[in-house]
Amino acid sequence: MSENLQNRNEIILNGTPASPGIAIGPVFIIHDELHVPRYSLAEWTVESEIERFTIATEQAKAKLGEIYVQLANNAYQDGANIFQAHLMMLEDRVFIDRIHHEIGSKLINAEAAILDVGEEFIKVFSQADDIYLREKSVDLRDIIRHLISTLSGRERLDLSMLEEGVIVIAHDLTPSDTVLIRKDKIAAFATDVGSRISHTAILARSLGIPAAVGLRNITAQLKTGDLIILDGTHGKVILHPGEETIKNYQVEQEKFYAFEESLHRLTELPVITLDGHERKLSANIEFPDEIYAVKNHGAKGIGLYRTEYFYVGRDDLPSEDELFEDYKEVAQQIAPESVIIRTLDLGGDKFASYLGIPHTVSSMMGLRAIRLCLKYQDIFIPQLRAILRASVYGNIKIMFPMISGVEELRQAKEVLETAKRQLTDDGVPFDHNLEVGAMIEIPSAAMTADILAKEVDFFSIGTNDLIQYSLAADRANEEISELFEPFHPAVLRFIQHVISAAHEDGIWVGLCGEMAGDPVFTIILLGMGLDEFSMSPQVIPEIKRIIRSVTLKEAQELTREIMTLSTAWEIEKRVYEEAQKRFPELLAWGQ
């Protein structure tokens, strides 16, 4: 669009795309700052003021308790622990006495007393060099906010003030906000901080509304009621948009709706090629609350349930019962479809400090995933027992990550047998026909897929690791990012080899890396004979549309053709050409 048609006040903020789509509307800002009433008391009202404070404390405690229960029930154990600590602070004798004293000696109202005493504590905490202690001041701010808003009868987020279609803006959305938000009224989310995996992002994607995060200081640049355009697909927000810009985005929004609509019509349709070959599309999830999105996008089950969430960001190991409850919930929710639970893939980039393993030792090629589990069976066995116990509540399959060869696979299966024996001895029921699979993500496993196939019921190819290991290209190192090349002939040959070896032995193969959800790869993976594509729920309709619009024969032909090419560049060019010809809109709107 030309410069002069834009409103001169337009400001474009670039953040991280968190959930696709476009929203145009007024913002509602959730502010962290407090507006605290302050007034003097007559001496004879001190007692009733303290009484008012006590009642507010009880109400705040009750409310925190409620949120705690909700979070614990939803398996947000991390969030729940935070609220439990908050409860302890609200019961703190010294804190409470100080506030009583402040009210009585200075003759000020309870809100002002809480703020003054709270600020003293915050000041001490925020001077700490230690990050763990410094973060406490954030918790304390939350406590103070709860108390003051209870006293003044105002919620931090007054839901009655939320008009339909507002874009909610906050520094960051806390678990308590997202529990309380009336989801049907909100058009989009935008936050100052956060990444694709932050709470806000996950919530937005599971609700299917646009969101952008990591916008740095968006809360400081807007006031409630201001109009903005939020482009969640690109992580962009336009403040004070001019008429021309709004018109342009309305057109884009219509296109997006039409695109989404066309994809949603697909939800109920089978995943079948034009010449009648059916394939399975399933979802990768990390949190139980993503199941809503899984069902909503027409996935057939869960092809990868990552289980690290329970182990990171806490001080101790999760208990077997805690894990069991979580796996049971997921299995019941997704039944009769299946869920493939990947055993703990800890170490490497996902690191739990309480295991006491120095970070250098636990590198991407070090002690991680199945290696770590085989070494620390006191961590592994409770997880296996939890999975087995949950298996009677639905259709659960299990798979082991980072298998490098058949000995390791046999060892893992042996530990699984130990867990089964323990349960049998304890008289605890489990599914005796539980399918066991191996993740193929190390070149040595890919090369020996024919040997591994005799030991398992299925394979799941983890392309993210397979690419970095086969090309010796660290995917986290930006200096060599161009070497991380999914189109490299070696990568494609590994995948082809694994699929062929599996089919030779009569077992099925899934793929749960980024490739499965990337429209440019769909036709060649189909052509290679892949049985199951597992991806983020949101991209399922797109991939389904591609599969429904080609014949298996065409796909096989294209695959044969690209397998003869010698460079990643040639392959990529050829595949893009084909995708551009067939699905230009998917490449434009895809996530």
Partner 1 sequence: MFQQQFKIRNEKGLHLRAAGEFVKESSKYPCDIWLEKDKVKVNAKSIMSVLTLIAGKDSKITIMTEGEKAEEALKNLGRLVLDGFGEK
Residues that bind partner 1 (CB under 8 A): 81, 85, 88-89, 92-95, 121, 124-125, 127-130, 132-133, 136, 139-140, 315-316, 353-356
The whole-angstrom separation of Cα 487 and Cα 485 is 5
Task: Kindly tell me the burial class for residue 536, based on how many C-beta atoms sit within 10 Å of its own C-beta (0-12, 13-18, 19 or more).
Answer: buried
Beta-strand (E) ranges in 427-475?
A: 435-440, 458-461
Cβ nearer to partner 1, comparing 44 with 132: 132
Cβ nearer to partner 1, comparing 378 with 479: 378
CB of 95 to partner 1, least distance (A): 5
The whole-angstrom separation of Cα 439 and Cα 299 is 21
Closest CA to 227 of 177, 163, 156, 173: 163
CB of 94 to partner 1, least distance (A): 4
CB of 222 to partner 1, least distance (A): 33
Sequence-separated (6 or more) residues with CB below 8 Å from residue 253: 22, 23, 24
The whole-angstrom separation of Cα 218 and Cα 239 is 9
Asked about 199 being catalytic, the answer comes back as yes
Helix 519-528 to helix 489-504 angle (10° resolution) is 40
Cβ nearer to partner 1, comparing 133 with 269: 133
Give the pair of three-digit tokens for residue 228: 């903005």
Determine if residue 363 is left, alpha or beta; phi over 0 gives left, psi from -120 to 50 gives alpha, anything else beta: beta
Contact between 299 and 537 (Cβ < 8 Å): yes
Cβ nearer to partner 1, comparing 322 with 572: 322
Contact between 273 and 551 (Cβ < 8 Å): yes
Cβ nearer to partner 1, comparing 140 with 211: 140
Cβ nearer to partner 1, comparing 165 with 358: 358
Q: Catalytic pick from 146, 297, 488, 512?
A: 512
CB of 96 to partner 1, least distance (A): 9
CB of 110 to partner 1, least distance (A): 17
Residue for token pair 């019941």: 332
CB of 136 to partner 1, least distance (A): 6
Closest CA to 322 of 390, 234, 268, 236: 390
Q: Catalytic pick from 199, 297, 373, 488?
A: 199
Residues involved in catalysis: 199, 512
